Amino acid sequence: VVGGALSAVELHPWMAAVFSWRSRGRAFTCGGSLISPCWVLTAAHCFPDGTQTKKLSVVLGKNAINETDIQKEQEFSVSELIIHEHFDNTDGNFNNDIALLKIHSPDGRCAKESSSVKTVCIPGPHQTLSHGTSCEVAGYGKEQEGSWYYSQYLREAKVKVVSPDLCSSKAYYGNMITDNMLCAASPDWSTDACKGDSGGPLVCRVHDRAFLFGVVSWGEGCSREFRPGVYAKVSNYHHWILEKTGLSSLTAH
């Protein structure tokens, strides 16, 4: 996250950290969001062809990437990785960049609600936000585009929804933007998601309740003028999420 502030997982209790086992050990891979006790929504591009679910793990309630707080954290294995069947990067724009992870603890349970672990609501089917709506992005990604390192701690930033017409104008991204994407930026280009924030949440409050409107997907650099952050538009996937998870509803609490 560029231009934001240090956060706390209690302020983003749906925040998930996805790790994968590499030859050098466990590596932070992407963010994600807890949408029901057993399911994390994340980005499809986090999982290259051939990714094995047995090499993935998910940690909830995490403030620091390289430290463990056993009081707050819950760690899970992944039993299913469901990548959107129309995920497509042939045009280099990550269309349908969405994936689901089914999680389970060593004793076979799902997430248990606490002050640092809670689910986030999914917007209604095709529910839209007017441009200029304030949202927040959270993640463990880079604090500057040119940085060598990811952030050590969870950070957050405020960004505003950019209209699809403006985002797909020639001065912005032109025809790279599909109807499955949502753009967000700050008016002075000071805040943005960045490398390492992929898969993580863009949350917007409606009537004081937090809804997951976006999944961090891509952008040209970070915090560049006329280059908003691009997010998978979660409202387009309401039915897809119900179908794949077998959940009967997502908004009711």
Active site residue 45: yes
CA distance 171 to 182: 17
Nearest distance in Å: CB 235, ligand 4AZ: 20
CA distance 160 to 135: 6
Q: Which residue is nearest to ligand 4AZ (CB)?
A: 219
| Residues sharing a CB contact under 8 Å with residue 29, sequence separation 6 or more, in sequence order | 18, 19, 20, 46, 56
Q: Which is nearer to ligand 4AZ, 140 or 237 (CB)?
A: 140
CA distance 111 to 132: 34
Residue 16: C-alpha distances to residues 20, 133, 161 (Å): 13, 24, 23
Residue 56: C-alpha distances to residues 20, 103, 192 (Å): 4, 10, 27
Nearest distance in Å: CB 201, ligand 4AZ: 13
Contact flag: residue 192 with ligand 4AZ (CB under 6 A): yes
Q: Which is nearer to ligand 4AZ, 72 or 94 (CB)?
A: 94
Q: Which is nearer to ligand 4AZ, 123 or 199 (CB)?
A: 199
Instruction: Catalytic residue, from 7, 12, 36, 45: name it.
Output: 45
Q: Of the ranges 20-28, 85-93, 111-119, 187-195, which one interacts with ligand 4AZ (CB under 6 A)?
A: 187-195
Instruction: Catalytic residue, from 97, 116, 151, 223: name it.
Output: 97
Q: Which is nearer to ligand 4AZ, 74 or 186 (CB)?
A: 186
Nearest distance in Å: CB 195, ligand 4AZ: 4
Q: Which is nearer to ligand 4AZ, 61 or 229 (CB)?
A: 229
The amino acid that residue 176 corresponds to is: M
Instruction: Catalytic residue, from 57, 116, 151, 198: name it.
Output: 198
Q: Helix/strand/coil (H, E, C) string of 80-116?
A: EEEECCCCECCCCCCECCCEEEEEECCCCCCCCCCCC
Nearest distance in Å: CB 2, ligand 4AZ: 8
Q: Radius of gyration of the chain from Cα atoms?
A: 17
Nearest distance in Å: CB 246, ligand 4AZ: 30
Indicate the pairing of strand 15-22 with strand 5-6.
unpaired
| Residues 14 and 201: beta-carbon distance below 8 Å | yes
The amino acid that residue 162 corresponds to is: V
The amino acid that residue 94 corresponds to is: F
Nearest distance in Å: CB 16, ligand 4AZ: 16
Contact set for ligand 4AZ, span 193-232 (CB under 6 A):
193-195, 197-198, 216, 218-219, 222, 229
Active site residue 116: no
* N- to C-terminal Cα separation, the chain: 30
Q: Which is nearer to ligand 4AZ, 38 or 222 (CB)?
A: 222
Active site residue 198: yes
Q: Give me the residues that bind ligand 4AZ (CB under 6 A), please.
A: 192-195, 197-198, 216, 218-219, 222, 229
Kindly list the catalytic residues.
45, 97, 198
